[in-house]
Structure 1
């Protein structure tokens, strides 16, 4: 076997092993904590995290969501249906003077008429290398 051919096989093997290592490490850190939430307007808590919608969520109408997580460096959230991705709708929350986080969000309309939403929250703390992931299930009108 020629040197060039051995080099190609070596590079291909390194790429495959590198990709497998990356996905193994990524999946080992992607633990999603579930937040039980009966009424997001009243607010939901999980440890130091609280999530609250200021009005009842409805599709295609902006509503305010507030999140509190002491020590948070950044907060993002996206919305999908249960077992159905709903496209790109990732929201970056803005830090407020009181230390909380706020964003105006809009749920896309689901053509099937479903109202079972999953809010995926990513919170980065300065003390952590990777963000913490939370999942909260909510329903709309």
Structure 2
């Protein structure tokens, strides 16, 4: 089960990162071109929103069943080792923050009346979330 969750978490990460990039570019183009924000635009933004939340859910499950997640944090000594600190604290904490920021961007876009503001809310908040996610990916583990 643990290995399957690891593979699922890694696989969905590719989808989530690709969806975020596509939505950021799509919303930026929509904002710069001055076109009207439509239901199609909302649904496209919702795709990255949903995939990122599924990634968070799988990650949280993995965090509590993994021997290098929450158990590493409670065992002590994780703060002195940078790799353990990344896995046990920084990766989950920053990624939760990134998903919250993405959520704020999506929810805020629904409340704004101007199309340019809707696009701007999506591309700015999604881009901040995207950068935060990239900053805390355990690249040494992910690329192997």
Q: Could you tell me the TM-score, scaled by structure 2's length?
A: 0.27
Name the one with the larger helix percent: 2
Query: Which protein, 1 or 2, shows the higher relative CO under an 8 Å CA cutoff with sep ≥ 6?
Result: 2
Name the one with the larger strand percent: 1
